[in-house]
Copies of this chain bind each other. A is one copy, B any other.
Amino acid sequence: MEQPQLQIIGRLHGDILSREEAPKNYSESERVGTLEIYPEFAAGLEGIVAGQTIVVLFWLDRAQRDILRVYPRGDRSRGLCGVFATRSPVRPNPIAISELKVLAVRGNELEVAGLDILDGTPIVDLKKKISP
């Protein structure tokens, strides 16, 4: 079976240093940080402006990839659940989706709000948000 290779396009600089400190998800967070996009990918940022909400895909490089069932948010009373029915970071391909508000654009760096992701996490994609 083919195994596509991701390219790391940048890295998050933030103030969340452990999973215990992380908000449950982006919709419950106001945490601010910086998306550093590496210079060789910076041309892809053209058109992103302060004030808009963007979709960001992170590669959760510290998450386990060999577990298929988890206790949702560590609550054992609800029983085990398949990882694909959750947003647990644990999954075969640990890609996180965040919707982040762009506070400022400075060259190849975006200051964003709404983070629930650990400092230093690799970035693999940014997208326009579809209007709801």
- Give the residues in chain B near A2, CB-CB below 8 Å: 8, 61, 122
- Give the residues in chain B near A80, CB-CB below 8 Å: 46
Q: How far is the CA of A54 from the CA of B55 in the complex (A)?
A: 17
Give the shortest distance, in Å, between A36 (CB) and chain B (any CB).
Answer: 13
A68 touches B95 (CB 8 A): no
- Tell whether A132 is near chain B: CB-to-CB under 8 Å: yes
- Tell whether A7 is near chain B: CB-to-CB under 8 Å: yes
- Tell whether A86 is near chain B: CB-to-CB under 8 Å: yes
- Tell whether A64 is near chain B: CB-to-CB under 8 Å: no
Residues from 70 to 105 in A contacting B, C-beta threshold 8 Å: 80-87, 91-93, 95, 97
Question: Contacts A80-B46, A85-B48; is A6 near B6 (CB within 8 Å)?
Answer: yes
B130 touches A132 (CB 8 A): no
Q: How far is the CA of A93 from the CA of B41 in the complex (A)?
A: 11
A-B contacts, 25 listed (Cβ < 8 Å):
A1-B8, A4-B5, A4-B6, A4-B61, A5-B6, A7-B93, A9-B92, A27-B130, A43-B68, A43-B69, A44-B83, A44-B92, A46-B82, A47-B86, A48-B85, A54-B84, A57-B95, A57-B97, A84-B127, A85-B126, A86-B128, A87-B130, A92-B124, A95-B124, A95-B125
